[in-house]
Amino acid sequence: MRWKSKKRPDSKQNNSESDSDDDDDALALDDFDAPAKFKVLKIHTPSMRTDAIISNSLDVSRSRLEEMFYGPGLLLNGVKMLKKSTKMEEGDYVDLVVDKIDEQYKVKRVKIIKIYSGKTNTEKLNVKVRVWKTPFLVNNPGNGRRSS
């Protein structure tokens, strides 16, 4: 004998949550250089440090991230970072440089959409991020500015 599931479709349950988050799923005007293929994730991170955000959203270990920081580099809002411990805020994005091709970078991007006020039971922050796991090309900023 086979048991039938009595669950209802999730569309009715998630309707109240999705009403307030509809605008987060669309590309913002400042994401014009990023492709339309991205994922919106809710991550739990111990801090708002750039390395913690990237590690949790792109599934990259912090030791691998350190190698990439000293190798090709990290860009915070299009500017090369000097410290991995830089704190991120809503609206910030960080590019993990995978490769350099002439005057362009091939990057994976993480953008912070929202930082929720509450914490989890393990005292971690809830953060909503937009993640581009597939590398794409962006122009080399080449402006010489540095982010601390």
Total domains in the chain come to 1
Confirm if 70 and 51 have CB atoms less than 8 A apart: no
- Residue 35 domain-assigned? no
C-alpha 105/C-alpha 78 separation (Å) is: 11
Six-digit token pair at 83?
């410290």
pLDDT digits (tens, 9 = 90+) for 47-60: 999 999 999 999 99
- Residue 86 domain-assigned? yes
Query: 117 lies in which domain range?
Result: 45-141
- Residue 133 domain-assigned? yes
Whether the full predicted model's pTM is greater than 0.75, yes or no, is no
CATH of the domain at 122: 3.10.290
Residue type at 97? Answer: V
- Residue 14 domain-assigned? no
Confirm if 41 and 104 have CB atoms less than 8 A apart: no
- Residue 29 domain-assigned? no
Confirm if 145 and 79 have CB atoms less than 8 A apart: yes
C-alpha 64/C-alpha 17 separation (Å) is: 35
Radius of gyration of the chain (CA): 18
Specify the pLDDT at position 131. 95
C-alpha 27/C-alpha 36 separation (Å) is: 7
pLDDT bracket for residue 11 (50, 70, 90) = very low
- Residue 1 domain-assigned? no
- Residue 11 domain-assigned? no
Residue type at 77? Answer: N
pLDDT digits (tens, 9 = 90+) for 119-132: 989 999 999 999 99
- What Cα–Cα distance (Å) separates residue 114 from each residue in 39, 111, 119? 14, 9, 13
- Which stretches within 46-126 are classed as H helix? 50-58, 62-70
Q: Residue 38, Cα to own-chain centre: how many angstroms?
A: 10
Question: Comparing 104 with 14, which gets the higher pLDDT?
Answer: 104
- Residue 71 domain-assigned? yes
